[in-house]
Amino acid sequence: MCIGVAPPPKAPWPHPFIAREGWPFLALAFLAAVTTTWFAGWLWAIPVWLGAFFAARFFRDPARYAPQGDGLVLSPTDGRVVAVEESDDPWLNRRALKISVFMNVFNAQSNRSPVDGEVKGRWHTPGKFADTMPAKASGNIQRNALWFQTRAGQDIICVQVAGQIARRILCYVEPGHQLNRGERYGFIRFGSRFDVYLPLGARPRVALGDKVSASSDVLAQL
């Protein structure tokens, strides 16, 4: 069971409940549902309305409270923890604690900053769309990596990894951006994986199989 920190009575509401990336899809889905209902009736329209409901659920972007505390590294995404291990960090050429979170199509897909700090670097690696489970994932999968440096000078790498269904990795920040923990910076369409590389001295606060929520759950403590 992942360890969380109790939120205050009311969470902030920094953006609409439906992610802006979903507005065109949602508009088309509901237009198709209304049109089918009008011309073909409710019986034929039921599957279309279910598709519209799924689109609304997929593109949800709920407000989340970011726990406060020294050295906390929050989950950048919703999903299930599939790796907690020592690994090579190919972006900063170091040994690191790697925590991987697998996202399916039923998870909220917004990506949020795990720490307060500055974006020091960004790398986009073109590649294939393939199975992103750690046991099967290869090194030529499309990915986008961000290098965060905390205000205490500690380096964290967050990697958006494209999957078999994911066809679009969106990242809205560049080197020089200052982000607060829990602040939204990207989106992955239709499920994927997120890798977080931490200094070896970091203490994991999650275990394999734990379900985590972006901004709300703590992955590790520096």
Last residue of one domain, picked from the residues 11, 29, 58: 58
User: Looking at the domain assignment, is residue 64 inside a domain?
Assistant: no
pLDDT at residue 10, as a whole number:
47
User: Looking at the domain assignment, is residue 32 inside a domain?
Assistant: yes
The average confidence (pLDDT) of the chain is: 82
**Same domain? 96 vs 167:** yes
pLDDT at residue 207, as a whole number:
95
What CATH number did the domain enclosing 77 receive?
A: 2.70.70
What is the three-state SS of the chain? Answer: CCCECCCCCCCCCCCCCECHHHHHHHHHHHHHHHHHHHHHCHHHHHHHHHHHHHHHHHCECCCCCCCCCCCEEECCCCEEEEEEEEEEECCCCEEEEEEEEEECCCCCCEEECCCCEEEEEEEEECCECCCCCCCCCCCCECEEEEEEEECCCCEEEEEEEECCCCCEEEECCCCCCEECCCCEEEEEECCEEEEEEECCCCEECCCCCCEECCCCEEEEEC
**Same domain? 48 vs 80:** no
pLDDT at residue 167, as a whole number:
55
**Same domain? 45 vs 82:** no
Domain count, the chain: 2
**Same domain? 185 vs 94:** yes
Encoded tokens for 55: 């689109």
User: Looking at the domain assignment, is residue 11 inside a domain?
Assistant: no
Q: Is the pLDDT of residue 192 over 90?
A: no
Last residue of one domain, picked from the residues 30, 58, 86: 58
Question: What's the pLDDT tens digit per position in 97-144?
Answer: 999 999 887 787 788 999 999 999 999 887 654 444 544 444 567 789
**Same domain? 143 vs 205:** yes
User: Looking at the domain assignment, is residue 99 inside a domain?
Assistant: yes
User: Looking at the domain assignment, is residue 87 inside a domain?
Assistant: yes
**Same domain? 105 vs 26:** no
Domain containing 42 equals 20-58
**Same domain? 96 vs 175:** yes
Bigger pLDDT: 79 vs 29: 79
The residue annotated as part of the active site, out of 192, 213, 215, 216, is 192
User: Looking at the domain assignment, is residue 140 inside a domain?
Assistant: yes
Question: What's the rounded mean pLDDT across residues 159-163?
Answer: 82
User: Looking at the domain assignment, is residue 178 inside a domain?
Assistant: yes
**Same domain? 51 vs 87:** no
**Same domain? 53 vs 76:** no
**Same domain? 106 vs 38:** no
**Same domain? 77 vs 128:** yes
Question: What's the pLDDT tens digit per position in 56-98?
Answer: 777 778 777 888 888 999 999 999 999 999 999 999 999 999 9
User: Looking at the domain assignment, is residue 4 inside a domain?
Assistant: no
- Is position 192 annotated as part of the catalytic site? yes
**Same domain? 79 vs 163:** yes
